[in-house]
Homo-oligomer: A and B are copies of this chain.
Amino acid sequence: MDDKVREALDRLFYPRTVAVFGSAREGKIAHQIVTQLTRGGYAGRVVVVNPRAEPPEGFPGVQAFATGCEVDGRVDLAVLALPAQFAEAAVRESGAAGARVAVVITAGFAEVGNIDQERRLLSAARQSGVRLIGPNCAGIMNSANSLMASIEVRARPGRAAFITQSGAIGGAVLGLADTRGVGFSKFVSYGNRADLGETELLEYLAADPETDVIAVYFESVTDGARLLPVLAAVAEAKPLIAVKAGRTSTGQRAASSHTGSLAGDDAVYAAAFRKAAVVRAAGIEEMLDLCEAFTRLRPPAGRRLAIVTNSGGPGILAADHAEELGLQVAEPSAGLRSTLRELLSERCGLGNPVDLTVEATGSNFERALRLMLHDEYDAALAVNVATPFLDSRALARAVIAARDALPSKPIAAVFAAGTVVAESVDVLQQAGVPCFPTGERAVLAIARLRDREDMLADARRARTVPRQAARDPGGPGAQLPRGSHHPLSSVSTLPIAGLVLEPDGWSFLCGRGFPFPAHRFCHSREEAARATSDSSSVLRFPLVMKVVSPEVTHKSDRGGVMVGLQETAAVTRAFDEMAARFAGASFRGVLLAEQVTGGLEVIVGIKRDPVFGPVVLAGLGGVWTEVLHDAAVRLAPVDDEEALGMLGQLRSAPLLSGIRGSAPRDTRALAGLIARISLLAVEHPEIAELDLNPVSVLPEGQGALIVDVRIITAPVP
Contacts and interface: CB of A to CB of B under 8 A. Distances in A.
A247 interface: yes
Contacts of A441: 285
A190 to B, nearest CB: 13
Contact of A437 (B171, B217, B285, B622): B285
A683 to B, nearest CB: 33
A284 B385 contact: no
A171 B386 contact: yes
Interface in A399-425: 416-421
A469 interface: no
B655 A153 contact: no
Interface string A233-255: 00000000001011110100000
Interface stretch (A50-58, A60-68, A162-170): A162-170
Contacts of A108: 347
B627 A659 contact: yes
A317 to B, nearest CB: 5
A416 B29 CA distance: 19
Contacts of A317: 169, 243, 245, 283-284
Contacts of A324: 247-248
Contact of A153 (B29, B153, B243, B388): B388
Contacts of A323: 248, 250
A417 B175 contact: yes
A346 interface: yes
A76 B628 CA distance: 60
Contact of A313 (B166, B311, B313): B166
18 contacts: A153-B388, A153-B417, A153-B419, A164-B313, A168-B385, A169-B314, A172-B416, A173-B417, A178-B419, A179-B437, A246-B316, A282-B440, A285-B440, A557-B661, A623-B652, A626-B654, A626-B659, A628-B651
A697 interface: no
A151 B387 CA distance: 6
A277 B621 CA distance: 38
Contacts of A387: 32, 151-153, 171
A369 interface: no
A216 interface: no
A659 B557 CA distance: 12
A135 B323 CA distance: 31
Contacts of A172: 311, 313-314, 385, 416-417, 438
B388 A152 contact: yes
A649 to B, nearest CB: 14
A320 interface: yes
A166 B418 contact: no
Contact of A418 (B32, B179, B246, B652): B179
B153 A311 contact: no
Contact of A321 (B164, B243, B283, B310): B283
A577 interface: no
A690 to B, nearest CB: 21
Contact of A627 (B32, B219, B651): B651
A449 to B, nearest CB: 20
A606 to B, nearest CB: 23
A329 interface: yes
